[in-house]
Amino acid sequence: MAGTNLAEREFIVNATPDRVWRLIGKVIFSVLPGMESMEILDENNFRALLRVKMMGSEWVLKLKGEMVDISPPESFSVRLLLEGLGGLVKADQKVAFAMAPVEGGKTSVVCGATAEGMGLLQKAFLTGQARSFARQTFEAIEKRLKELA
């Protein structure tokens, strides 16, 4: 079953794909909104706590992430499992990143987030929240990558 598209973003960074590859892992983890207490389980797998604002309150969500389909320096994806609010929130998302060389030694970066495995109720309440989170994250990644390039 195809997932629900949450957000997409494409931008050009003034650096080679190799340089972008070296930067992007650290950039993601440094700009992820509300990211706290990351625990690296085995280099491809991590757990973290996310402090997010939802429905007017601040909540702590448990995040489990796995790097998949890693093909340096072209692409990788992060599979994210979010859980919180005493089990009320459960979301399975996949965030894909693709880097391709463009003219002038620059790199095109394409980011896409899709939601997979959400129940109907959760979809109704949380899709907007997830979209906003993904958009904010992609904007922050673009800003930081461009600063560092």
Partner 1 sequence: MKVNVPEKWDREFDVVVVGWGSAGTAAAVTAHDQGAKVLILEKMANGGGNSAICGGNIIVPKGKEFLEYLDTLSFKTTEREILETFVAEALKNGDWIRQMGADVQVFRPLEVAYPTMIAGAGFPQVRGAENVVKYNIKGTPEEGKPSQRLWKFLSGLVAKRGIEVLTATPAQELVSNTRGEIIGVIAQKEGKRISIKARRGVILTCGGYENDPWMKWDYLPVKPLYFLGTPGNTGDGIRMAQKIGADLWHMTRLACLIAFKAPEFEAAFWVAFLSEGFLFVDKYGRRFVNEAGIEIHEYYKELSHFDVEKMEYPRVPLWAIFDEQTRKRGPLSRGTAGYNRDLYTWSLDNTVEMKKGWILQGKTAAELAAKISMEPKVLEQTLARYNHLCKAGKDEDYGRPREDLRPLEAPFYAIQLWPALINTQGGPRRDKESRVLDPGGKPVPRLYAAGELGSIWGFLYQGACNIGEALVFGRIAGKNAAAEKPWA
Under the criterion CB under 8 A, does residue 60 sit at the interface with partner 1? no
Stretch in the footprint of partner 1 (CB under 8 A) among 67-75, 83-91, 107-115, 131-139: 67-75
- The length of the chain is 149
26 binds partner 1 (CB under 8 A): yes
Binding flag, residue 76, partner 1 (CB under 8 A): yes
Q: Point out which residues pair with 98 in neighbouring strands.
A: 75, 110
Q: Which residues pair with residue 70 across a beta bridge?
A: none
Mark residues 104-143: x for contact with partner 1 by CB under 8 A, - for none: ----------------------------------------
User: Least distance (Å) from partner 1 to the CB of residue 41?
Assistant: 5
The distance of closest approach from Cβ of residue 70 to partner 1 in the complex, given in angstroms and rounded to an integer, is 4
CA nearest to 4, candidates 143, 145, 127: 127
Q: Which of 9, 10, 18, 11 is nearest to 105 (CA)?
A: 18
Which region holds residue 88: left if phi is over 0, alpha if psi is between -120 and 50, else beta? alpha
In contact, 102 and 9? CB cutoff 8 Å? no
| 70 binds partner 1, rule: CB under 8 A | yes
Q: Is 58 in the site for partner 1 (CB under 8 A)?
A: no
Distances (CA, A) of 145 to 11, 18, 88, 118: 10, 13, 35, 31
Q: Which stretch binds partner 1 (CB under 8 A): 70-78, 104-112, 115-123, 125-133?
A: 70-78
Asked if 75 is part of the footprint of partner 1 (rule: CB under 8 A), the reply reads no
**Footprint of partner 1 (CB under 8 A):** 22-30, 35-45, 48-49, 67, 70, 72, 76, 148
